[in-house]
Amino acid sequence: MTRSTTITLDKQRWMSTVLDIGRLKLTDIVWPGVHNAGMDKKAPNYEVVFGNWTTCQNDSFAWQLANGARAFDIRLGYTAGPQLPVYYFHHNGYQSHRILDELIDAVTTFLTRNPDEFIVLDFHQLGDAARPFDYQQLNDVLIRRLGARLIRTADSLSTVEQLKRNGSQRRIVLAAHGKPGLDGEFFWPLIPHKWNGKTFTDASVLKSHIETTLTEAPYETFLWSLPATCYSLLGGPQHIKSQINDWFHTTRDWVTRCSIISTDFFDEADIVRYCWSATSMKAVYGHLLHEPA
């Protein structure tokens, strides 16, 4: 197989163009994910020098969606307000000054224009160090703003075709660690991140970790995230476009074994195309992909 990328891919509606996607469950789809989605170079508090260590994406939520991202790694802090609370995005306490309302607005606008796309909102970290966090308020905001678009946990094993048949709007998965105040009808279980546990990781160490992680994959009964990211003491989040394009190209079998592939600066690599290709292959060929030769 040649590594040709001449086929035009509409990244705003790539899920809609997957042949036979209706037969897949959401856990079968290979999702292009964004690591630390709220920390980007266009954020109000972006600063070139310090941002070198804290910034993980190139542009806003709306831009990420338009460029194919469908799973969002979310880290929120909380500030009480005189009328409404503020839920802000942060990276180890450093705030981008993006807030949850921006993400909700971007998702709502995007799904109105692209009603057959699906989105995972992975609330991986709720809290900011020892600061208080109001889970009930978060629950209420999300149910009020997105309730009609949320896929219930009872439908987690439904196929895409069944989900579409059940409603024209329910396209969003919420996932978080179970906490008092978070409605279990709408919040799916915490999405495990298969992180290597090291603060600083270079490409060779990351490759070895991915290879080990995928030995037992695919794990087809739940959503899980593979953070394909490198971080250095001097440079912070690294741009590893060439490695991502090599490791997850469809001439390998790695990409079809994944669930969510979470990357920094996701748009620089061809990960959306590879996820689209892998999802298409799984829809058409299914279990044949991983049968022993």
CB within 8 Å of 264: residues ≥ 6 apart: 35, 36, 56, 57, 229, 230, 237, 238, 239, 240
pLDDT in tens, 246-291: 999 999 999 999 999 999 999 999 999 999 999 999 999 875 565 5
pLDDT in tens, 193-238: 999 888 889 999 999 999 999 998 888 789 999 999 999 888 889 9
Q: What is the pLDDT of residue 52?
A: 84
Q: What is the spatial distance between Cα 108 and Cα 139, in angstroms, rounded to a whole number?
A: 17
Q: What is the pLDDT of residue 1?
A: 40
Q: What is the spatial distance between Cα 176 and Cα 126, in angstroms, rounded to a whole number?
A: 8
For the chain, percent of residues with pLDDT exceeding 90: 85
Whether pLDDT at 27 is above 50: yes
Structure tokens at 46: 């972006």
Whether pLDDT at 2 is above 50: no
Whether pLDDT at 185 is above 70: yes
pLDDT in tens, 121-142: 999 999 999 999 999 999 999 9
Name the pLDDT band for 177 (thresholds 50, 70, 90).
Answer: very high
Q: What is the pLDDT of residue 197?
A: 85
Q: What are the DSSP calls for 57-79, one per residue?
A: BSS-HHHHHHTT--EEEEEEEEE
Whether pLDDT at 173 is above 70: yes
Domain 11-286 is classified in which CATH homologous superfamily? Phosphatidylinositol (PI) phosphodiesterase (3.20.20.190)
**Secondary structure string (H, E, C) spanning 182-239:** CCCCCEECCCCECCCCCCCECHHHHHHHHHHHCCCCCCCCCCCEEECCCEECCCEECC
Structure tokens at 153: 């946990």
pTM above 0.75, yes or no: yes
Mean of all residue pLDDT scores within the chain = 93
Domain regions of the chain by residue span: 11-286
Q: What is the pLDDT of residue 83?
A: 82
